[in-house]
């Protein structure tokens, strides 16, 4: 996954006011509900210039679980099943699709978590 692709996802989540940071929450104030992202690259098996990744968003809240479900739906609308496509500043194309979601167990009492998986394909422009 490219730095530009990670930045694009950040911009999309900011536009729908999802409190998000890549890898870990680093801001000094930790909100009651926040999301962090990570990714897994899929090996490239051809020379087409296409790369593929699974982008994993993990939502955490001290509030009701419904808050995470509401944000999950916002994310699903942002990255629909038919894909959100765009051209990045570096000239590469990107297509992002909501794949699935699942509640996650939490070891901390009163903390609720959910995982959202996005499929990300990037295409070299040159």
- Min mean pLDDT across 3-7, 24-28, 67-71, 118-122 is at 24-28
Q: How far apart are CA 81 and CA 100, in angstroms?
A: 10
3-state DSSP assignment of residue 64: coil
Tell me the backbone φ, ψ of residue 26, rounded to 5 degrees. -115, -10
Q: How far apart are CA 119 and CA 10, in angstroms?
A: 15
% of the chain residues with pLDDT over 90? 76
H helices of the chain, in order, are 3-15, 65-78
Residue 45, pLDDT score: 65
Pick the residue with more confidence: 110 or 75? 75
């Amino acid at each position: 996954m490219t730095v530009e692709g990670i930045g694009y996802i950040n911009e999309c989540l900011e536009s729908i006011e999802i409190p998000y940071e890549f890898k870990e929450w680093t801001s000094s104030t930790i909100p009651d509900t926040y999301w962090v992202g990570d990714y897994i690259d899929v090996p490239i098996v051809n020379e087409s210039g296409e790369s593929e990744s699974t982008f994993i968003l993990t939502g955490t809240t001290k509030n009701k679980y419904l808050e995470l479900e509401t944000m999950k739906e916002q994310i699903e609308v942002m990255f629909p099943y038919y894909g959100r496509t765009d051209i990045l500043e570096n000239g590469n194309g990107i297509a992002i699709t909501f794949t699935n979601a699942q509640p996650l167990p939490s070891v901390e009492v009163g903390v609720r978590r959910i995982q959202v998986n996005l499929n990300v394909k990037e295409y070299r422009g040159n």
